Amino acid sequence: MPDLKVFAVGQKMPAWVQAGCETYLPRFRRQCRVVLEELPASRREGAEAQTEHGQRLLDRLKREDWLVVLDERGQHWSTEELADALTRWEMTGRSIVLAIGGADGWNDEIRARADVIWSLSRLVFPHPLARLIVLEQLYRADSIRSGHPYHRS
């Protein structure tokens, strides 16, 4: 698997989020490197924040990137389905980018640019927690694909 980038809105995460991310990022197998990059959070709210965050994301994306946007209106998957999706995304030959929005989420422009919209749950999580859940689930899905015993169910 090529490098997988996770762009997440927000900086200066609580220590527990930082520690959790530092636990999972080095665990990925050598064939897959996951990179977490922060997008500065806007000082604005609502649609203005969405627009600013969206522009910051678009400025970092390449035209050919396979964009997976985290959004509460997206598709729900089991971990096994995520593992299958990762394999399908790899087969596109495009770089994979996952985007975790801020407290206001993403605007319609970003959702329209997305190749896939993924929802972690019908529950809404604070974006620092979503960051940690995404990394853990990517690791779990990757462990399924590699036959590693981390995922035992």
The listed CATH number (3.30.70.270, 3.40.1280.10, 3.30.420.40, 3.90.1150.10) that belongs to domain 4-146: 3.40.1280.10
pLDDT, tens digit only, all 153 positions of the chain:
567 999 999 988 999 999 999 999 988 766 678 999 999 999 999 999 999 999 999 999 999 999 999 999 999 999 999 999 999 998 998 999 999 999 899 999 999 999 999 999 999 888 899 999 999 999 999 888 888 677 665
pLDDT at 57: 98
- Return the axis-axis angle of helices 15-24 and 127-146, rounded to nearest 10°: 10
Let me know if 64 is exposed, middle or buried by CB neighbors in 10 A (0-12, 13-18, 19+).
Answer: exposed
The structure tokens listed for 124 are 């809404």
Nearest to 7 by CA among 43, 48, 45, 55: 55
**Res 30: pLDDT:** 65
d(CA 57, CA 9) in angstroms, rounded, equals 9
Residue spans of the domains in the chain: they are: 4-146
Distance CA 56, CA 3 (A): 20
Task: Give the pLDDT of residue 79.
Answer: 93
pLDDT at residue 151, as a whole number? 62
Give residue 1's pLDDT: 52
Residue 3's pLDDT is what?
76
